[in-house]
């Protein structure tokens, strides 16, 4: 079950299309592997390439919406390279990823350059799923990060501004890349509030908005943390305005955390579910008694009854303590899990 769930989770996060094409070298005579962000999210990218018998991985290349950056300098060596992208922690709705099935080590805390570490967790690193990119030109190559809709770089930048304005609590509206008078007025208000000049560039504005959105998100929401020595897959359940709902999956490496709700929490009833992968089998939560539906891949399910009728399965969740000031952090420990059982899915 774990491998299938991992692959579908990546595919579900609007990975859409990652396209590559040969480009002329830059005027300065340089070149390399250029990454372009045609999404409304700020993306941090890591790239890998073969080095002898191993794989060299380096990151992070920051890509604001509507921007292009060179992740590897030229000349390039034609062949299979690897790419992984993650959304900025300022974005709401949980972590977004663009990647694939090949797991390579990354340092989640900052810039890094690694060559085939034998054990990610033992070195304080995380394993993330990279996708292969076939590079056939030794001068320059471009790969696009895209959402479902193929946007131009300019429209992606404007959509990114709309998203960050919403997440920073400035103004809400459609994320469509069409900025109107109301949004421009909100931008001017934000610049005045931060004592920034009216001619602040869009690139600088995105940086300021990302900081504001990140500061806002830290004060509210729901975070799950893995205090075990193994990877876990987690899900949550709670009552929404339309009734009970369950959502998952979030993959959390040993020692890591996942922000699963980025807005102030409503109500006092929240529930968690987790599965821990071990070589001898799957471990689920002890002292779990609340039934909700879960899916095989990433899911958001309304209701908690007749799960199997909807091609889901029933799982037992654990009730969390009530949120404090509309915020909740829940930690999973080894003692919270039952002994391994064989995974029949």
Alpha-carbon distance 270 to 332, whole Å? 15
Separation in Å, CA 105 to CA 108, 150, 242, 255, 343: 9, 30, 40, 15, 26
Cα 237 from chain centre: 20
Alpha-carbon distance 112 to 25, whole Å? 26
> Three-state DSSP class for 308?
helix
In this predicted structure, the answer to whether residue 314 has a pLDDT above a threshold of 50 is yes
Q: Tokens 């709700």, residue?
A: 261
In this predicted structure, the answer to whether residue 3 has a pLDDT above a threshold of 70 is no
Specify whether the CB–CB gap between 270 and 221 falls below 8 A: no
Instruction: State mean pLDDT over 131-155.
Output: 92
More confident residue, 156 or 93: 156
Alpha-carbon distance 145 to 53, whole Å? 29
What's the confidence (pLDDT) of residue 342? 62
Stated as kind and residue range, the H or E segment containing 183 is: helix 181-193
Candidate from 14-18, 73-77, 204-208 with smallest mean pLDDT? 14-18
Q: Please provide the average confidence, as pLDDT, over all residues in the chain.
A: 85
Alpha-carbon distance 323 to 328, whole Å? 5
What strand order describes the sheet that includes 327-332? Answer: 257-261, 221-226, 327-332
Alpha-carbon distance 233 to 235, whole Å? 7
Given 1.10.3470, 1.10.150, 2.60.40, 1.10.10, which CATH number is that of 221-336? 2.60.40
Q: Are strands 313-319 and 270-278 parallel, antiparallel or unpaired?
A: antiparallel
Specify whether the CB–CB gap between 112 and 85 falls below 8 A: no
Separation in Å, CA 259 to CA 114, 205, 219, 226, 327: 26, 25, 12, 12, 11
Alpha-carbon distance 88 to 146, whole Å? 15
Alpha-carbon distance 321 to 270, whole Å? 8
Stated as kind and residue range, the H or E segment containing 207 is: helix 202-218
Proportion of the chain above pLDDT 90, given as a percent = 54
Alpha-carbon distance 236 to 212, whole Å? 27
Question: Which residue, among 210, 211, 159, has the nearest Cα to 180 in the 3D structure?
Answer: 159
Alpha-carbon distance 303 to 288, whole Å? 18
Number of H helices, E strands in the chain: 4, 21
Domain boundaries, the chain: 2-146, 153-218, 221-336
In this predicted structure, the answer to whether residue 18 has a pLDDT above a threshold of 60 is no
What's the confidence (pLDDT) of residue 317? 96
Confidence band for 7, pLDDT divided at 50, 70 and 90? very low
Instruction: State mean pLDDT over 53-57.
Output: 90
**In terms of pTM, does the model score above 0.75?**
no
């Amino acid at each position: 079950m774990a491998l299938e769930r991992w692959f579908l989770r990546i595919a579900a996060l609007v990975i859409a299309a990652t396209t590559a094409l040969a480009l002329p070298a830059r005027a300065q005579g340089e070149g390399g592997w250029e990454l372009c962000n045609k999404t409304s999210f700020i993306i941090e990218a890591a790239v890998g390439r073969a080095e002898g018998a191993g794989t060299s991985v380096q990151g992070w290349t920051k890509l604001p919406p509507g921007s292009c950056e060179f992740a590897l300098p030229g000349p390039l060596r034609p062949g299979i390279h690897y790419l992984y992208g993650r959304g900025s922690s300022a974005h709401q709705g949980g972590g977004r990823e663009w990647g694939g099935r090949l797991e390579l080590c990354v340092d989640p805390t900052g810039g890094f350059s690694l060559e085939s570490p034998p054990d990610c967790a033992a070195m304080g690193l995380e394993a993330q799923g990279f996708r292969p990119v076939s590079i056939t030109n030794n001068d320059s190559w471009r790969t696009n990060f895209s959402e479902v809709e193929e946007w131009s770089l300019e429209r992606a930048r404007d959509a990114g501004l709309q998203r960050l304005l919403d997440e920073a609590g400035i103004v809400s509206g459609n994320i469509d890349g069409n900025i109107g008078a109301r949004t421009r007025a909100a931008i001017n208000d934000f610049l005045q509030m931060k004592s920034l000049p009216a001619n602040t560039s869009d690139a600088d504005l995105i940086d300021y908005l990302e900081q504001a959105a990140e500061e806002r998100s830290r004060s509210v929401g729901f975070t799950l943390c893995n205090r075990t020595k193994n990877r876990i897959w987690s899900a949550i359940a709670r009552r929404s305005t339309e009734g009970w709902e369950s959502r998952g999956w979030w993959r959390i490496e040993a020692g890591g955390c996942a922000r699963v709700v980025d807005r102030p929490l409503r109500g006092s009833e929240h529930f968690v579910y987790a599965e821990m992968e071990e070589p001898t089998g799957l471990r689920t939560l002890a002292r779990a008694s609340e039934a909700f539906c879960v899916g095989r891949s990433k899911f958001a399910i309304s209701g908690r009854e007749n799960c199997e009728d909807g091609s889901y399965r029933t799982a037992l969740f654990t009730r969390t303590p009530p949120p404090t000031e509309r915020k909740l952090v829940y930690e999973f420990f080894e003692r919270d899990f039952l002994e391994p059982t064989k995974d029949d899915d």
